[in-house]
Amino acid sequence: MNKKIFLSSPTINGSEMQYIKEAFDTNWIAPLGKNVDRFEQEVTDYLGDGYGAALCSGTAALHLAIKLAGIGAGDIVLCSSLTFAASANPITYEQGIPVFVDSERDTWNMDPRALEKALQTYPNAKAVVMVHLYGTPGKVKEIMELCNKYHIPLIEDAAESFGAKYQGKYTGTFGRYAILSFNGNKIITTSGGGMLITKTNEEADRARYFATQARMPERHYEHTEIGYNYRMSNIVAGIGRGQLKSLNDFIEKKKRIRKVYKELLQDIQSIHLNPYDEKISEPNFWLSCITINDDSNVLPLDIITSLEDDQIESRPIWKPMHIQPVYKENDFIQIAEGVSVAEDIYNHGVCLPADVKITATDMLRIINIIRNLFHKKSISLSMVERILDA
């Protein structure tokens, strides 16, 4: 049987163990501890801005961003539709109402024109949740201008885009609040975890307080608000500290993976890679995705099942939130009539493997399976090696 190729699985670099060992040696595996403090500092040092609260997941981070933004019952929050459910669910946790906003074609992210229409329709909206999908920064400048014009906070969901830059600055540093995810499939992982990024230490402290059951600073257990058990453990943070050392190398590898797909599938006119504007952004290339034109006889599912038959993991694009049964009653704002951009990308797209450990031989298997479906000549290993191992 062929070796299994994963979409994006954890890649341990070995240095994680020293931080975990230190926690064990000092009998400090919980609660919190030095690794947590350092990890918060190291992540925000990397970003060059903000204050971090290390939490048990990106979803928890988004929940606390929603709380800090003051979202409550009945408040409208404008949210990207083309994303994972975790971008929207925390709005609902606080009984807010997500209104979904369509994507644009240039980056697949929130369309500023659709956002403007949404803001005109809902001038009392309380926040915008903007996602940088698959590691590609969205149109930050246009979206920030709209948020400023309507005086509402931007919450950046940078769960998939840690290390990606927009106009030379890292995603996660633009919004009033931002979140990162260190889930197992993300560009770096702590096995599971996330971080809230705030503009002031007071806000990060407030998030830390909510994340530890909203315990008041008293000797006894005193609570004046509802809290959560959302903090990251000292062991988990140790993994993060080790992983952080590899972030730039992982981005470089994922960039090459994308280049392999780009160059070795470019003669198939029906295939297009997920786009980005290289003049203003540097994605982290977390996943390489393709869309397939209607004129082709090959459907996304044909690619997914052919890869699956050879032990290769791929995925459909996120199913947009506005067509999810759970959110079907929620409003959705798009520019033109007809099938939305988000749904069109979903209908035509596939996420291809972009695992950091992928080898030239693995990529040869993937590329030739796809080429074969489109009746194109197979390529040789050296053609992949020339790009991947350059």
Q: What is the contact surface with ligand PLP in residues (CB under 6 A)?
A: 57-59, 83-84, 86-87, 131, 157, 159-160, 181, 183, 194
Nearer to ligand PLP, 318 or 374 (CB): 318
Q: Quick check: 324 and 297 in contact, CB under 8 A? A: no
Q: What six digits make up the tokens of 51? A: 């204050």
Nearer to ligand PLP, 103 or 368 (CB): 103
- How far apart, in whole angstroms, are the C-alpha atoms of residue 265 and residue 251? 21
Q: Where are the alpha helices (DSSP H) in the chain?
A: 16-25, 34-47, 58-68, 89-93, 112-121, 140-150, 201-211, 234-244, 247-264, 300-309, 341-348, 360-373, 381-388
Nearer to ligand PLP, 57 or 291 (CB): 57
Phi, psi of 80 (to 5 degrees): -55, 140
Phi, psi of 350 (to 5 degrees): -145, 140
Residues paired with 54 in a beta bridge = 195
Least distance in angstroms from the C-beta of 308 to ligand PLP: 22
Q: Quick check: 67 and 94 in contact, CB under 8 A? A: yes
- How far apart, in whole angstroms, are the C-alpha atoms of residue 262 and residue 112? 28
Least distance in angstroms from the C-beta of 361 to ligand PLP: 29
Least distance in angstroms from the C-beta of 384 to ligand PLP: 28
Least distance in angstroms from the C-beta of 309 to ligand PLP: 27
Residue nearest to ligand PLP according to CB distances in the complex:
58
Least distance in angstroms from the C-beta of 237 to ligand PLP: 14
Least distance in angstroms from the C-beta of 225 to ligand PLP: 23
Query: Helix or strand or coil: residue 218?
Result: coil
- How far apart, in whole angstroms, are the C-alpha atoms of residue 318 and residue 81? 9
Look up tokens 């949740």; give the residue: 129
Nearer to ligand PLP, 193 or 242 (CB): 193
Nearer to ligand PLP, 131 or 342 (CB): 131
Nearer to ligand PLP, 157 or 203 (CB): 157
Nearer to ligand PLP, 152 or 351 (CB): 351
Least distance in angstroms from the C-beta of 83 to ligand PLP: 5
Least distance in angstroms from the C-beta of 193 to ligand PLP: 7
Nearer to ligand PLP, 133 or 387 (CB): 133
Task: Identify the burial level of 223 via C-beta atoms within 10 angstroms of its C-beta, where 0-12 means exposed, 13-18 middle and 19 or more buried.
Answer: exposed
DSSP character at residue 318: P
Q: Quick check: 231 and 211 in contact, CB under 8 A? A: yes
DSSP character at residue 219: S
